[in-house]
Structure 1
Amino acid sequence: MKRLAIFLAGAALALGLCGSVAAQSARIPVVAAENFYADVVKQLGGERVQVTSILNNPDEDPHLFEASPKTARALQHAALVVYNGADYDPWMEKLLAVSKGEKRTTIVVANLVGRKSGDNPHLWYDPATMPAVAKAVSGYLVQADPAHKSDYDARLATFLASLKTIDDRVASLHAHYKGVPVTATEPVFGYMADAIGFEMRNLRFQLAAMNETEPSASDIAAFEKDLRERRVHVLIYNSQATEGLTKRMLKLSKDWHVPSVSVTETLPAGKTFQQWMLAQLDALSGALQGWQQ
């Protein structure tokens, strides 16, 4: 983040020299800050959209991302920009302020679902989020390219129908594991855990980890006690942020035979959003099998 202010002036000059946006190609240029939103746009737009995503690497911690002039250039000709908001990708607002897109439309996911600064920013794990995103994106595509409305409408219907498989899986987990105590190293999976109905423990520890502050000694001790005494049925961890304390808790979970499940903040290569969600829910279901309420 520290480097952002240094290059903003240069990026502004470079973008200003570009003048007016070149004539739009046959495909609608879209930039999505996160690659799972990019995947949704691709599913909704097909060959009629050209989508660029900024956060792509599932092996890197998204919180450590630093914007660069290349990121600014990606926004230069975007007709549509989609980003998370709720302080998850604050560099987007600064870049958009530099890039003067005259006819650019911006969709901030947090605004769609009524979330704000201070809320859990991992909005894509809330089952209610992607239907809202899909409808907003599809609405834009129809407005921008009305000649292909029937195709966009069909793609939206297909996408929304495909989410039912995720909803059904969540409902099944809710039926079997509502009230089951679990824990996590960060609140990445928080909205999905709420939808399933888990009793989520060690929230103060999780918030400290997410905000890159040190959990208190008492919070660390409580987390370790939950694992050592097997008070929780599964440990959910962010595999893109495996710092010292996360590794420590993973070792304890292994030592005390508490199953652990990995979740990520970035869509893995070669998967759609739906496949990604289902794979993680399946892993969670497998970890919980054998536990009795």
Structure 2
Amino acid sequence: MTSPIPPRPTRRRRSVLAAGALLIGALTAATACSTASDSSDDSAKDTAKNAADAKSSGTPAASGTVLQVVAAENFWGSIAEQLGGDHVKVTSIITNPDADPHDYEPTAADARTMATARYAIVNGIGYDAWATKLVDANPSAQRSVLTVGDLVGIKDGGNPHRWYSPDDVHRVIERITADYKKADPADAAYFDSRKTDFENRTLGEYNSLISGIRTKYAGTPIGASESIVSPLADGLGLKMLTPYSFLSAISEGSDPTAKDKTTIDHQIAAGQIKVYVYNSQNATPDVQAQVKAAKAHGIPVATVTETLTPAGASFQQWQVAQLKGIEQALAKATGK
């Protein structure tokens, strides 16, 4: 089971006006500088393990092209780096597990990184509006942009946590590879080789765990702390009993209703849910009370986090650890 980490403060969205002055300063700095982001050294340290995994296989380089890539969040950045190998340099803006992507305030270094990137990956769906603003404020005919929400057909107001949907993860992999090949046609075979290896070997345990849990535990009722768990529950074939209005409220940093809390208390006390899954980076007092109640009633508890934990982990290392925790909780709850 993934070890809980100290929770970040309950998220409250900051107003656009409050961040405006800093953003304007960042964008001004971007127009005056064509160098890579000052944060690239830190990002390189955070993704060292990813790079080592990525370079363990792959077709010999066909050219010296290296695409400058920026990802708003490191879960997408990890995938982008491993798919690109020697032909990309990826900088992820959100790398600190304690940072909340919902209300992150971009820096001048972030603006410079976006201004010089050939390819940008943003989540969209209202999750990282600051990243979209950076893209729009730094137009470039040389840069293409992948907005994950647009790719998977989820509009603002929908569940933005698409990196927890196995199907959406594979759609993103397909699109990144296609975009790399378009930007660097000379290395198309290289990118195809890395995609095949990443999906079949690197994500082998990830794919196996998802398939195994779905086969063995499909239909098992679970509870959760917030909407980040919903796409994963769908992918695993688990039945989410927690009212979505509660999941969304905790995710957005608003107060859940008394009715929802009463419903969840009953579900826990009556043993209607078999496993409780919570985001340990956003353990509000309401969530902490539910975790305590679940444990008191003998309901196994598993944890997930919103961003890569630890910061230097690869996407697959992070997800596999969490999936194993959920699998162990399900096994304990069902005796299977």
Both proteins in one fold, TM over 0.5 = yes
**1:120 maps to what in 2?**
159
Taking the TM superposition and a 5 Å limit, the aligned residue runs for 1:211-250 are 211-250=252-291
Give 2:210's aligned amino acid: V
Structure 2 unmatched runs, 5+:
1-13, 37-63
Is the CA contact 2:83–2:194 (under 8 Å) kept in the aligned structure 1? yes
TM superposition shift of 1:18? 4.0
Q: Which amino acid aligns with 2:132?
A: E
Runs of 4+ in 1 over 6 A off after TM superposition: none
Match of 2:217 among 173, 177, 188: 177
How many corresponding residue pairs?
290
Distance 1:71 1:249 in 2: 38
Query: Which residue of structure 2 aligns with residue 263 of structure 1?
Result: 304
Q: SS of 1:291's equivalent? A: helix
Q: How does 1:267-286 map to 2 (within 5 A)?
A: 267-268=308-309, 269-286=311-328
The equivalent of 1:129 in structure 2 is: 168
**1:61: Cα distance to partner?**
3.4
Contact kept? 1:184, 1:237, Cα under 8 Å = yes
What is the DSSP-based 3-state SS (H/G/I as helix, E as strand, rest coil) of the residue aligned with 2:116? coil
Of 33-42 and 6-15, the range deviating more from structure 2: 6-15
Alpha-carbon shift at residue 145 of structure 1 (Å): 2.1
Whether contact under 8 Å (1:26, 1:48) holds in the other structure is yes
Q: Tell me by how many angstroms 1:85 deviates.
A: 0.8
* Residue from 132, 136, 141 that aligns with 1:97: 136
Residue from 9, 15, 38 that aligns with 2:24: 9
Amino acid at match of 2:144: T
Q: CA deviation at 1:124?
A: 0.7
Q: CA separation of 1:175/1:140 partners in 2, compared to 1, >3 Å: closer, same or farther?
A: closer
The answer (yes or no) to whether the contact 1:184–1:235 under 8 Å persists in 2 is yes
Conserved 8 A contact 2:104-2:130? no
Amino acid at match of 2:20: A
Q: Deviations over 1:107-152 (max 9, x none)?
A: 1111111111111110011111122212221222222222222211
Equivalent position SS for 2:93: strand
Note the aligned Cα RMSD (angstroms). 2.1
Q: Which has the higher contact order (CA 8 A, sep 6+)?
A: 2
- SS state of the match for residue 262, structure 1? strand
Q: Is contact 1:181–1:233 with CA below 8 Å preserved after alignment?
A: yes
Deviation at 1:56, TM superposition (A): 1.1
Q: Which residue of 1 aligns with 2:206?
A: 166
Per-residue deviation, 1:5 = 1.6
Deviations 1:70-106 (A, max 9, x none): 3222212101000111111111111112113231110
- Contact 1:261–1:283 (Cα < 8 Å) also in 2: yes
Aligned to 2:52: none
Moved more, 241-250 or 168-177: 168-177
Judged with a 3 Å threshold, the aligned counterparts in structure 2 of structure 1 residues 291 and 79 are, in CA distance, closer, same or farther, namely same
Displacement after TM superposition at 1:267 (Å): 1.4
Distance 1:285 1:121 in 2: 24
Structure 1 residues 177, 143: closer, same or farther in 2, change over 3 A?
same
Residues 26, 110 of structure 2: 8 Å contact kept? no
SS of the counterpart of 2:271?
Answer: coil
Q: Matches of 2:35 and 2:206 in 1, distance apart?
A: 43
The offset of 1:284, in angstroms, is 0.6
Aligned to 1:144: 183
Question: Measured at CA, do residues 15 and 259 of structure 1 come closer, stay the same or move farther in structure 2, by a change above 3 Å?
Answer: same
**2:26·2:106 contact (CA, 8 Å) conserved in 1?**
no
Residues 257 and 63 of structure 1: CA distance in aligned 2, closer, same or farther (over 3 Å): farther
Identity of matched residues, %: 34
Counterpart in the other structure of 2:58? none
